[in-house]
């Protein structure tokens, strides 16, 4: 066991998990549309292979250090000091595993559902997986930027080709938002390169910056990451994108892509511009709490299930940004700060499971009825009892029920934010009521009640494939809810290192 | 012993999981056996633990596993086993076992048989985790878990629109309470740095010596803020005004769970929690007064509504609200042991009354309207006698279990010197009359007088089978005598010493104890106070109105139609909530969505800039209309080549 493990450690694991799915994607693409079942099998094999390769990242991970691990470094563009540099720490490693796990589910979920250009659809997801893992693993900011942008292309295609009626509008809106945001980030990176001569993230974190510089750079990053998360008020692309996206697209969008925004705040904003973060934390906190409260109310009145879950995503991601930026008000060196940061991280992982599960559940219904309108449903439990059990379970997780993963992060962030201010905790805690209200009201109208119409009467319960996906997610949601320590444990050194780093002013 | 502690909740969980996941494979009998045996195991082991505690076993406080460590804060799952826990465990598992057995008969024709057993066992597990917890996090876990099972069980008959409305309402109203509860836990953690009960208690001085400015310029004692926030949680779970609105609607669920969850156990979680936290609540007179006043309002005004209800279950539901109010008043008067004592006696006699009502309901083919009952005494003799025992216990008939606990509450309030005690004393006394009146109104309407059911129903009337009447009899015994047997040690003895703490200046029980000389004297002493006579007056009034002169009821209703309407509309709480909270939330949501998102952000900013971009890009639009996907894949391929070249080159 030990020797085989060390053998793993010698491999360029991160490169493998980035390029394995990309190569798989190319294979699938070339297998062509004539043989969709072959394409599916290849895609599944590659996604599982990738997941297996990410497991050593966790089992061999050294939880006692904040240093980057599994580091690979090659000169890429020497003239600009750009390196192909990869590595993971306690905040990126869990997100990489989340990505490889979710991709498998998405591949399975597409199995019989996607008939139109199946191979291209699957290829897009595999290539996107590589790009997403790449952006989590990148230690060079340009490499990060490239992966960050590269993952958008498959997503545009997924929505643009396999999407719903208004897919063009949604894609354009998505594009417009993300493009403006990421251009600002690129400008900031180049500015810092000119000053420091390096694109390495660690160098950017350690370079001196004046307050004015920090504020501008902070706002540039905010542009890129706030759109991704998405934070209020730059969130309106998300409901449209979700509504138009096919199920798999929605799952990846919600489970992984949004996380890259949160990850960016931790990797770039806080450590590169700690003083500006402190100066402008009121802005982020306000935006986060608005997401929780305002978006909570908006979610309540949605008629479209996917829109409702999209809005619920925004509200839940509010806890991530709140947890990250409340630390200055708690005091970066006092108890509660690490709780807030780790809470935000746990919320990211948990939201990956739960939002993925919610979108898959809606997908199960949509595949059968071709409607996302709540009003078209009613009494689904009568004809799909097994599915209904899953749906109620995930709904409860979405409402933050203790024992599910949805509780953990919110609990940590609320507890921590009380140390900062009573009213911040108060507003954050309204999610207990709002989250339950919009989720359970939807469940009541869709799942419970007598059979509403003949379409519902004709519904068939989930098959083995669907059962497998939902069961895997249910296990993940329960495991994280009942025993979150293994996840939190890997983050400790990284988080305390980050807190130390941002406690020191750059001025 | 630790293994036994762990086995107690797990035995119930095991039954729940097996019946829930493999209900189809094990069949109906398999489901009721596996769950009933599981709960029976929990019950027997709980009795062992109780015996151990009575024999003077030391307090057990240990961790089962570390849920999480973050920021140096330990989040654990663990047990605190002391006299309070042992008593609660025994009551919970005992009533639960009775309900399991009863359910075999009550639900025998229901298609969701296995699911039902799975839920009630899961409930037992959750409730055990709640009462056995040694820390605030697990308490909150159990707290919400029982809420979940309550949600599932109220909506058990998911085709019924009223049921699935009621369960959502119950969950949401409870969430309002939990909102306060969670913030209360946050206060505790912020000021003591721990979630472990004992650590928090030993650092309670940090809470009482600090102030917090929630509103600028108004420093409040942290302990008061913490206790009131925690109590808001209790108001949700234990259905205190104004968070009581979910409990009457919860009667949409099957009757066994009304007995188990919405009368005997879950709704008493708030009472248990405050008692458990007595070392904290004792430090805040403001919080105690607040609790006493809320409890007093609930005790009297909810009882009043019970008078005008015609649904047999709703009468008992309002009675439960009122009795929970009594327990809350006792908490406010710092008479924690008395509150727990009433919790226990109430668990038995209220479970009995609900299950007896269930027996009546099935005998009448699911008829719940008392106007269609009457004269059932001769058809259901066992049910009749156990109902009489339950009703007498409820109204505090001298010597019955309810007599001891309720009289102790009244005496405790009488001796309390906290602000609001005078008001509470009047309320609980008036409540005694009201309780006796609605209880015997129900009793006479159901069991005596003319038979108002239709011919077909009457022809099929018969006593239900042994699985139904046996639990009734088993519950009737403690309902009658448990007060007499335990008042000595629970209230006036040393059973709760060092567990339920009372400051000397709050110690009303000590004041009562001065004139206490054994249960027999306590009964006699009762005749020198007003409560016994008020109860007798209530019974007499009910008898006179409903047996002698039924026209009085109609006359009163017309004469005092304003009062009647107010009660019939339940003081307009539901109407208010529907319009203000539910309607208001939807209105706010619509405004934010239509105006905030759609008009301002999308309409003005996003689509505005899109138009500008569109205007610029009009000239090159032709380029984009090709096979976008091919271009994009080419871009990705180019990227890959570029990176590959970098690595290899």
- Residues in chain A with CB shorter than 8 Å from the CB of B185 are 415
Tell me which DSSP letter residue B369 carries: B
Neighbours of B241 (CB within 10 A): 21
Please compute the mean of the pLDDT values over residues B377-381 and round it to a whole number: 91
pLDDT at A186 over 60: yes
pLDDT at B331 over 50: yes
Q: Please spell the DSSP secondary structure of B278-310, one letter per residue.
A: HHHHTT-HHHHHHHHHHHHHIIIIIHHHHHH--
Residues whose CB is less than 8 angstroms from the CB of residue A240 and which lie 6 or more positions away in sequence, other chains included: A166, A169, A170, A173, A174
pLDDT at A19 over 70: yes
Residue B634 in tokens = 């080419």
β strands within A93-182, DSSP E:
none
Helix (H, G, I), strand (E, B) or coil at A246: coil
Please compute the mean of the pLDDT values over residues A33-40 and round it to a whole number: 82
CB contact under 8 A, A157 and B629: yes
pLDDT at A1 over 70: no
For A438-442, the CB contacts below 8 A with 24+ separation are A438/A296, A438/A299, A438/A300, A438/A302, A438/A308, A438/A311, A438/A312, A439/A312, A439/A395, A439/A396, A439/A398, A439/A399, A440/A395, A440/A399, A440/B151, A440/B168, A440/B171, A440/B172, A441/A300, A441/B168, A442/A305, A442/A308, A442/A374, A442/A395
Quick check: B469 and B359 in contact, CB under 8 A? Answer: yes
Q: Which of A486-490, B466-470, B555-559, B640-644 has the highest mean pLDDT?
A: A486-490
The pLDDT of residue B192: 93
Tell me which DSSP letter residue B23 carries: H
Among chain B residues, the shortest Cα distance to A293 is held by B589
Among B633, B636, B637, pick the best mutation site for testing chain A contact (most A Cβ within 10 A): B636
Provide the β-strand partners of residue A69: A88
Please compute the mean of the pLDDT values over residues B153-175 and round it to a whole number: 94
User: How big is chain B by its Cα radius of gyration, in Å?
Assistant: 28
Query: Given pLDDT bands bounded at 50, 70 and 90, which one contains residue B619?
Result: very low
Please compute the mean of the pLDDT values over residues A378-394 and round it to a whole number: 95
Closest alpha carbon to B260 in B194, B322, B189, B320: B320
CB contact under 8 A, B214 and A423: yes
**Cα torsion for B186, B188, B190, B192, to the nearest 10°?**
-160
Please compute the mean of the pLDDT values over residues A181-208 and round it to a whole number: 91
The pLDDT of residue B623: 43
The pLDDT of residue B636: 54
Query: Given pLDDT bands bounded at 50, 70 and 90, which one contains residue A496?
Result: very high
CB contact under 8 A, A415 and B178: no
Range of weakest confidence among A225-239, A303-317, A347-361, B313-327? A225-239
Residues whose CB is less than 8 angstroms from the CB of residue A15 and which lie 6 or more positions away in sequence, other chains included: A72, A86, B647
| Predicted confidence (pLDDT) per residue in B214-243, tens digit | 888 888 999 999 999 999 999 999 999 899
CB contact under 8 A, A423 and B71: no
Among A336, A440, A493, pick the best mutation site for testing chain B contact (most B Cβ within 10 A): A440
- What b/e sequence results for B552-572 when a residue is b if at least 16 CB atoms lie within 10 Å of its CB, and e otherwise? eeeeeeeeeeeeeeebeebbe
- Residues in chain B with CB shorter than 8 Å from the CB of A302 are 593
The pLDDT of residue A133: 96
pLDDT at A134 over 50: yes
Residue A112 main-chain phi, psi, to 5 deg: -100, -10
Residue A326 in tokens = 């409340």
The pLDDT of residue B551: 86
Q: Which of 176-215 (A) contact B at CB < 8 A?
A: 176-177
pLDDT at B630 over 70: no
Query: Given pLDDT bands bounded at 50, 70 and 90, which one contains residue A5?
Result: low
Quick check: B230 and B181 in contact, CB under 8 A? Answer: yes
- Residue B478 Cα to chain centre, angstroms: 21
β strands within B356-512, DSSP E:
none
- Residue A467 near chain B (CB below 8 Å): no
Please compute the mean of the pLDDT values over residues B378-396 and round it to a whole number: 94
Residue B549 in tokens = 């002169």
The pLDDT of residue A34: 78
pLDDT at B149 over 60: yes
CB contact under 8 A, B171 and A440: yes
Query: Given pLDDT bands bounded at 50, 70 and 90, which one contains residue B618?
Result: low
- Residue A490 near chain B (CB below 8 Å): no
Query: Given pLDDT bands bounded at 50, 70 and 90, which one contains residue A167?
Result: confident
Please compute the mean of the pLDDT values over residues B241-254 and round it to a whole number: 92
Across the interface, of A154, A336, A450, the residue whose CB is closest to B159 is A450
3-state helix, strand, coil in chain A (%, to 5): 75, 5, 20
Quick check: B367 and B431 in contact, CB under 8 A? Answer: no
Rounded to the nearest angstrom, the minimum Cα separation between B401 and chain A is: 37
Please compute the mean of the pLDDT values over residues B284-293 and round it to a whole number: 95
The pLDDT of residue B611: 72
Tell me which DSSP letter residue B521 carries: H
Inter-axis angle of helices A405-420 and A464-482, to 10 degrees? 30
Residues whose CB is less than 8 angstroms from the CB of residue B172 and which lie 6 or more positions away in sequence, other chains included: A433, A436, A437, A440
Whole-prediction pTM value?
0.93
- Residues in chain B with CB shorter than 8 Å from the CB of A423 are 214
Closest alpha carbon to A182 in A147, A157, A156: A147
Please compute the mean of the pLDDT values over residues A454-480 and round it to a whole number: 95
Please compute the mean of the pLDDT values over residues A398-413 and round it to a whole number: 95
pLDDT at A193 over 50: yes
The pLDDT of residue B322: 95
The pLDDT of residue B366: 87
Whose structure tokens read 């201010």?
A: A421
CB contact under 8 A, B71 and A146: no
Q: Could you tell me how many residues make up chain B?
A: 649
| Predicted confidence (pLDDT) per residue in B600-613, tens digit | 888 777 777 667 66
Residue B547 in tokens = 């047996």
Higher pLDDT, B480 or B619: B480
pLDDT at B599 over 90: no
pLDDT at B621 over 80: no
The pLDDT of residue A478: 96
Inter-axis angle of helices B466-490 and B381-395, to 10 degrees? 20
Query: Given pLDDT bands bounded at 50, 70 and 90, which one contains residue B635?
Result: low
How far is residue B69's CA from residue A259's CA, in Å, rounded to a whole number? Answer: 23
Closest alpha carbon to A118 in A23, A32, A243: A32
| Predicted confidence (pLDDT) per residue in B464-502, tens digit | 888 899 999 999 999 999 999 999 889 988 899 888 989
Cis amide bond preceding A233, omega within 30 = yes
The pLDDT of residue A484: 96
CB contact under 8 A, A436 and B140: no
- For chain A, the average pLDDT equals 92
The pLDDT of residue B625: 43
pLDDT at A9 over 70: no
Range of weakest confidence among A167-176, B299-308, B504-513, B574-583? A167-176
Higher pLDDT, B440 or A3: B440
pLDDT at A2 over 50: no
CB contact under 8 A, A153 and B643: no
Closest alpha carbon to B134 in B66, B209, B181, B57: B66
How far is residue B72's CA from residue A477's CA, in Å, rounded to a whole number? Answer: 24
Closest alpha carbon to A227 in A277, A273, A181, A170: A181
- For chain B, the average pLDDT equals 90
Query: Given pLDDT bands bounded at 50, 70 and 90, which one contains residue B617?
Result: low
pLDDT at A457 over 60: yes
- Residues in chain A with CB shorter than 8 Å from the CB of B168 are 440-441, 444
How far is residue B374's CA from residue B364's CA, in Å, rounded to a whole number? Answer: 11
How far is residue B311's CA from residue B299's CA, in Å, rounded to a whole number? Answer: 20
Residues whose CB is less than 8 angstroms from the CB of residue A233 and which lie 6 or more positions away in sequence, other chains included: A287, A290, B601
- Residue A422 Cα to chain centre, angstroms: 29
Tell me which DSSP letter residue A431 carries: H
Rounded to the nearest angstrom, the minimum Cα separation between B127 and chain A is: 14
pLDDT at A477 over 80: yes
């Amino acid at each position: 066991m030990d020797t085989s493990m060390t053998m793993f450690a010698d491999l360029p694991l991160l490169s493998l998990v980035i390029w394995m799915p990309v190569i798989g994607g190319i294979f699938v693409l070339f297998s062509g549309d004539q043989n969709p079942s072959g394409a599916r099998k290849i895609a599944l094999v590659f996604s599982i292979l990738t997941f297996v390769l990410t497991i050593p990242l966790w089992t061999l991970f050294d939880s006692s250090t904040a240093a980057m691990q599994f580091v690979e470094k090659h000169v890429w563009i020497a003239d600009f000091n750009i390196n192909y540099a990869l590595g993971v720490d306690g905040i990126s490693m869990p997100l990489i595993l989340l990505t490889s796990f979710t991709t498998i589910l998405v591949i399975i979920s597409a199995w019989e559902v996607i008939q139109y250009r199946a191979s291209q659809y699957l290829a897009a997801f595999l290539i996107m997986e590589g790009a997403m893992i790449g952006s989590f693993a990148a230690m060079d900011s340009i490499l990060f930027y490239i992966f960050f942008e590269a993952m958008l292309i498959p997503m545009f295609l997924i929505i643009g080709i396999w999407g719903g009626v208004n897919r063009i509008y949604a894609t354009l809106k998505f594009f417009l938002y993300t493009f403006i945001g990421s251009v600002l980030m690129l400008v900031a990176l180049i500015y810092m390169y000119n000053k420091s001569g390096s694109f390495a993230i660690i160098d950017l974190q350690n370079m001196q910056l004046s307050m004015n510089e920090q504020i501008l750079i902070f706002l540039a990053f905010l542009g890129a990451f706030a759109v991704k998360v998405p934070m209020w008020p730059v969130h309106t692309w998300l409901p449209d994108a979700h509504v138009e996206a096919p199920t798999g697209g929605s799952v990846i969008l919600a489970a992984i892509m949004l996380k890259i925004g949160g990850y960016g705040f931790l990797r770039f904003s806080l450590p590169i511009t700690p003083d500006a973060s402190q100066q402008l934390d009121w802005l982020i906190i306000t935006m986060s709490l608005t997401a929780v409260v305002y978006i909570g109310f908006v979610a309540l009145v949605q008629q479209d299930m996917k829109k409702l879950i999209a809005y619920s995503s925004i509200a839940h991601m509010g806890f991530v940004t709140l947890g990250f930026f409340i630390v200055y008000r708690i005091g970066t060196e006092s108890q509660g700060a690490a709780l807030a940061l780790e809470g935000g991280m746990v919320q990211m992982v948990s939201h990956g499971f739960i939002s993925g599960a919610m979108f898959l559940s809606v997908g199960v219904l949509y595949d059968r009825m071709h409607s996302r309108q709540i009003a078209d449903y009613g009494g689904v439990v009568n004809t799909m009892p097994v599915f209904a059990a899953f749906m109620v379970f995930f709904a409860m997780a979405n409402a933050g029920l203790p024992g599910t993963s949805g509780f953990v992060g919110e609990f940590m962030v609320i507890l921590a934010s009380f140390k900062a201010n009573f009213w911040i905790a108060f507003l954050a805690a309204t999610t207990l009521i709002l989250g339950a209200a919009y989720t359970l009201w939807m469940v009541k109208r869709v799942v419970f009640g007598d059979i509403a119409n003949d379409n519902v009467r004709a519904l068939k319960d989930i098959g083995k494939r669907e059962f497998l996906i939902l069961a895997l997610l249910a296990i993940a949601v329960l495991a994280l809810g009942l025993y979150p320590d293994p996840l939190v444990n890997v983050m400790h050194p990284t988080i305390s290192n980050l807190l130390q780093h941002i406690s020191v002013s750059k001025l | 012993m630790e293994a036994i502690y762990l086995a107690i909740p797990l035995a119930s969980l095991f039954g729940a999981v097996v019946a829930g996941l493999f209900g189809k494979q094990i069949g109906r009998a398999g489901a009721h056996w596996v769950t009933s045996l599981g709960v029976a195991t929990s019950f027997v082991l709980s009795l062992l633990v109780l015996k151990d505690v009575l024999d003077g076993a030391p307090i057990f406080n240990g961790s089962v596993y570390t849920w999480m460590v973050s920021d140096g804060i330990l989040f654990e799952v663990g047990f605190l086993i002391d006299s309070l826990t042992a008593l609660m465990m025994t009551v919970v598992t005992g009533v639960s076992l009775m309900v399991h057995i009863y359910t075999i008969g009550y639900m025998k024709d229901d298609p969701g048989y296995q699911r039902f057993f799975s839920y009630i066992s899961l409930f037992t597990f959750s409730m055990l985790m709640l009462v056995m917890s040694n820390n605030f996090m697990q308490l909150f876990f159990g707290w919400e878990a029982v809420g979940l099972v309550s949600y599932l069980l109220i909506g058990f008959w998911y085709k019924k629109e009223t049921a699935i409305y009621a369960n959502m309402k119950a969950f949401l109203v409870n969430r309002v309470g939990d909102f306060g509860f969670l913030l209360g836990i946050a206060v505790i953690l912020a000021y003591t740095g721990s979630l472990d009960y004992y650590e928090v208690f030993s650092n309670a001085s940090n809470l009482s010596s600090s102030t917090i400015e929630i509103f600028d310029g108004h420093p409040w004692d942290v302990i008061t803020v913490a206790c009131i926030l925690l109590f808001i949680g209790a108001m949700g779970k234990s259905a205190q005004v104004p968070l009581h609105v979910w409990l009457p609607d919860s009667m949409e669920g099957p009757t066994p769970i009304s007995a188990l969850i919405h009368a005997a156990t879950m709704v008493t979680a708030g009472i248990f929690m405050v008692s458990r936290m007595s070392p904290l609540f004792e430090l805040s007179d403001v919080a105690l007064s607040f609790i006493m006043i809320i409890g007093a309002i609930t005790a009297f005004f909810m009882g009043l509504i019970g008078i005008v209800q015609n649904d047999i279950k709703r009468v008992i539901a309002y009675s439960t609200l009122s009795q929970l109010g009594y327990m809350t008043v006792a908490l406010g008067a710092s008479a924690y042991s008395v509150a727990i004592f009433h919790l226990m006696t109430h668990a038995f006699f209220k479970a009995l009354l609900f299950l007896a009502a269930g027996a009546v309901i099935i005998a009448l083919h699911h008829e719940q309207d008392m106007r269609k009952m009457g004269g059932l005494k001769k058809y259901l003799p066992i049910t009749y006698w156990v109902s009489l025992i339950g009703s007498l216990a409820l109204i505090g008939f001298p010597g019955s279990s309810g007599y001891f606990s309720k009289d102790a509450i009244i005496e405790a309030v009488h001796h309390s010197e906290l602000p609001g005690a005078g008001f509470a004393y009047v309320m609980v006394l008036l409540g005694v009359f009201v309780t006796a009146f609605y209880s015997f109104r129900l009793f006479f309407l159901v069991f005596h007088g003319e038979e108002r059911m239709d011919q077909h129903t009457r022809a099929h009337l018969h006593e239900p089978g042994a699985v139904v009447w046996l639990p009734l009899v088993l519950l009737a015994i403690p309902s009658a005598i448990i007060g007499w047997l335990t008042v000595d040690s629970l209230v006036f003895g040393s059973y709760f010493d060092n567990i339920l703490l009372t400051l000397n200046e709050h110690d009303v029980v000590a004041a009562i104890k001065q004139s206490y000389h054994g249960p027999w004297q306590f009964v006699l002493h009762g005749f020198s106070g007003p409560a016994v006579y008020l109860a007798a007056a209530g019974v007499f009034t009910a008898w006179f109105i409903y047996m002698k002169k039924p026209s009085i009821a109609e006359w009163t209703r017309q004469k005092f139609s304003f009062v009647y309407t107010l009660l019939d509309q339940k003081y307009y709480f539901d109407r208010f909530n529907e319009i203000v909270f539910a309607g208001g939330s939807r209105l706010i949501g619509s405004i934010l969505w239509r105006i905030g998102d759609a008009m301002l952000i999308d309409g003005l900013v996003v689509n505005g800039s899109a138009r500008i971009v569109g205007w610029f890009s009009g000239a090159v639009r032709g380029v984009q209309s090709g096979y976008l996907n091919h271009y994009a894949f080419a871009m990705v391929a180019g990227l890959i080549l570029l990176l590959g070249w970098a690595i290899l080159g």
